[in-house]
A and B are shown apart, each in its own frame.
Chain A
């Protein structure tokens, strides 16, 4: 025994009377002192030869069960090694004991490589108040992080830790429908169900809102637990005299394989959760490497997409629309293209959904509308330009009409030469506001067209609620026209509907002469597609107009 850190008898007496255990040792595990409480907690007789307590525990002698002892030794070992590297530090840890008790270990590195361990046994459910979620009584996000870190410190190829990230589906709807007190009560019941469904040693935390996490020190059962939680959390909740139901989506990650630090592992579990939600909710997904790769690719793409407008990487290409009766050019549809410096032309389906999700579609949509009007103003007077707008642009009842008015004024294009295309699904998500926007646009003289008609599920009621000028028949029908009598029937019905309601009907994606003949026979009034021309750049439009003019003359022979 070298020195005795509490140097006075008073300090020794004070230490002896403390209810918490104090034990001091060197980084090579020689015990410097140990008070009675520590000896009691560690389950050893009052130490006479104080220099072997930690060593003895390391060697396997202790009143603790095996897992507690190894967890404790792991902490001490980690403290000793990190301590000598990092200088002074302080860390708190908790080790779950049987019967709902917890061993708290506070480690402080003192000068001269001496380590002070403060030991305390608490009843397991007693978390420090500042680390308890006040609504549910579960531990909070901070405690989740800390306990995950502690467990990961001791994790290895053989010793693993599982994190289950849990999100309640449709919880917001419960709050909206029944009010926040009911929502809060539901969270409390959900917390109880979580606690009841896992083992005593598993750590259940509420991370915030309707987000929960379970940390499992032994992840063998993680999949089963995940499935059980989806089942249990999805059962009805009786609150006062109401019955509310939510679902649960769960993402699972196993450390250290899927993440060596608490932050990495939590992120992996979050990515798996994201996938579970994307898979239709009420599902359990385990983390896989590709999720990380895809998330990174996506976040790169997102950053680039946000810059693309400023860097002028967007282009508008124009696809001609032709009247079927005279095969005469009537206008162009403006199509957005992203010319990425490395990836080349990125197809719209690979960036427009992302742009919608991150809100970038609003400024991009503004650029599209202004550019299309400017380009169209230089075309012959009878040609129209069609511009697509997304659901996001319809959400604000003033923004798009103001923008359209300003784009028309700026370019000098008359309103009747601008056509706005909306999809059925965009109308579906923004019903009330969207209709207001459509009426405001119509008042500017703008022609309104319904895109992808026939693919939504409420086509007819949509048509009744707003007078469109044009229906665009989705290209999936045209693709099937030659070999599917259902497709033919659908096209005929839409064309007849259009005719009876005074709307033109445009067949999209016409690629062959045969398809052209069929859509004409079925009553469509217009067409667009590769047969006439793919979309071209604004610069190439004069040439295309000349070519199509020539083609019209060449085609002036009876069809059918």
Chain B
């Protein structure tokens, strides 16, 4: 984890909800992203609900650019809004090649989420990053470490 770090946070509309197996699709997204990310030194978290994706990616700038462009071409989501694209001092999701937070999952209702993620609620990037960090902290454990 040396060199310049870049962090990108975006949210988008979930388009897999009408697929035959939406959760299977998301599992597939996560699997691909974990494989690619650990190769590229990217860490981050993906939060998903029925309607929304929110993702934070952090890593070397070139890797983030390539990965984000690949994500952009994915037809399983739409309406991407970039909330943050900045140089970062440190990794916030260092232990995760891609943590997954299903906010419809059984743990979600017990979490202190007052934010509605159903639509355009003006969630800011720092809010979202903090929320992701908080949610990731409740996950059972790192799935795949970066590097």
A-to-B contact residues, CB < 8 Å: 189, 192-193, 196-197, 228, 231-232, 235-243
Number of A-B pairs, beta carbon distance below 8 Å: 39
The residue from A197, A228, A241 contacting B86, defined by CB atoms under 8 A apart? A241
Q: Which chain A residue has the least Cβ–Cβ distance from B6?
A: A241
Nearest CB on A from B33, distance (A): 16
- With A236-B80, A238-B8, A241-B6 known as contacts, the answer to whether A196 contacts B85 (CB < 8 A) is no
Alpha-carbon distance A192/B73, docked complex (angstroms): 10
Say if the beta carbon of B69 comes within 8 Å of chain A: yes
In the bound complex, residues from chain B placing their C-beta under 8 Å from that of A196 are 73
Q: Name the distance in Å between A31's Cβ and chain B's nearest Cβ.
A: 47
Of chain B, the residue at the smallest CB distance from A231 is: B78
CA distance A424 to B81 in the complex (A): 34
Interface contact B85-A238, CB-CB below 8 Å:
yes
Interface size class of B (residues with CB under 8 A): 10 to 19
Set B6, B64, B72, B75: member contacting A236, Cβ < 8 A: B72
Q: Are A242 and B85 closer than 8 Å at their CB atoms?
A: yes
Known: A228-B75, A237-B69. 14 other contacts (CB 8 A): A189-B69, A193-B72, A193-B73, A231-B78, A232-B72, A235-B78, A236-B82, A238-B65, A238-B68, A238-B69, A238-B82, A240-B61, A241-B61, A243-B82
| Complex contact B87–A241 (CB within 8 A) | yes
Interchain nearest-CB distance for A74 vs B (Å):
34
In chain A, what residue has the closest Cβ to B87?
A241
Write the chain A residue with the least CB distance to B8. A238
**Inter-chain contacts of B80 with A (CB < 8 A):** 235-236
CA–CA, A325 to B63, complex, Å?
A: 76
User: What residue in chain B is nearest A244 (Cβ atoms)?
Assistant: B82
Interface string of B1-40 (1 = CB under 8 A from A): 0000010101000000000000000000000000000000
Binding site for A on B (CB under 8 A): 6, 8, 10, 61, 64-65, 68-69, 72-73, 75, 78, 80-82, 85-87
- When distances are taken between beta carbons in the complex, the residues of chain B under 8 Å from A241 are 6, 61, 85-87
A241 nearest in chain B by CB position:
B85
Cα separation A243 to B83 with both chains bound (whole Å) = 10
Chain B's closest residue to A232 (CB) is: B73
Residues of A within 8 A of B86 (CB): 241
CB contact between B73 and one of A197, A238, A242 (< 8 Å): that residue: A197
A-B contact list, 18 entries, CB within 8 Å: A189-B69, A193-B72, A193-B73, A196-B73, A231-B75, A231-B78, A232-B72, A235-B78, A236-B10, A236-B72, A236-B81, A237-B72, A238-B8, A238-B82, A239-B65, A240-B61, A242-B85, A243-B82
A243 close to B85 (CB less than 8 A): yes
B83 CB to closest chain A CB (Å) equals 10
Q: List residues of chain B with CB within 8 A of the CB of A237.
A: 69, 72
Tell me the bound Cα distance from A236 to B81 in angstroms. Answer: 7
Chain B nearest CB from A225 CB (Å) reads 13
**Interface-centre pick from A236, A238, A241, A243 (highest chain B CB count, 10 A):** A238
Q: When chains A and B are docked, how far (Å) is the Cα of A361 from the Cα of B75?
A: 47
User: Are A192 and B87 in contact, with the CB atoms below 8 A?
Assistant: no
Q: Roughly how many angstroms separate A241 CA and B64 CA in the complex, as a whole number?
A: 10
Q: How many Å from the CB of B124 to the closest CB on chain A?
A: 15
CA A189 to CA B8, docked complex, whole Å: 18
Question: How many angstroms from the CA of A25 to the CA of B73 in the assembled complex?
Answer: 48
CA distance A236 to B83 in the complex (A): 11
Residue of A nearest to B12 (CB): A235
- Quote the shortest CB–CB distance from A25 to chain B (angstroms): 46
The docked-state distance in angstroms from the alpha carbon of A193 to that of B69 is 9
Q: Which residue of B lies closest to A196 (CB)?
A: B73
Q: How far is the CB of B128 from chain A (nearest CB, A)?
A: 16
Taking CB atoms, residues of chain A closer than 8 Å to B10 are 236
**What residues of chain B lie closer than 8 Å to A231, measured between beta carbons?**
75, 78
Residues of B within 8 A of A232 (CB): 72-73
Whether B72 pairs with A235 at a CB distance below 8 angstroms is yes
Task: Tell me the complex Cα distance, A192–B75, Å.
Answer: 15
Residue of A nearest to B70 (CB): A196
Cβ–Cβ contact A192 & B69, under 8 A: yes
Closest to B79 in A: A235
Rounded to whole Å, the gap between the CB of B44 and the closest CB of chain A is 14
Closest to A238 in B: B68
Which has the most chain B C-beta neighbours within 10 Å: A196, A241, A242? A241
For B82, the chain A residues whose CB sits under 8 A away are 236, 238, 243
Nearest chain A CB to B68's CB is how many angstroms away? 5
B75 contact set on A, CB distance < 8 A: 228, 231
- In the complex, what residues of B have CB within 8 A of residue A236's CB? 10, 72, 80-82
Least Cβ distance of B70 to chain A in Å? 9
Q: State A556–B108 Cα separation when bound (angstroms).
A: 82
Q: Lowest 7 CB-CB distances: which A-B pairs, in order?
A: A243-B82, A235-B72, A238-B68, A236-B82, A241-B85, A235-B80, A236-B80
A257–B129 Cα distance when bound, in Å, is 54
For B77, the closest partner residue in chain A by CB is: A235
**CB of B86, distance to nearest CB on chain A (Å):** 6
Per the bound structure, the CA–CA distance linking A228 and B78 in Å amounts to: 11
A232 to B69, CA, bound (A): 11
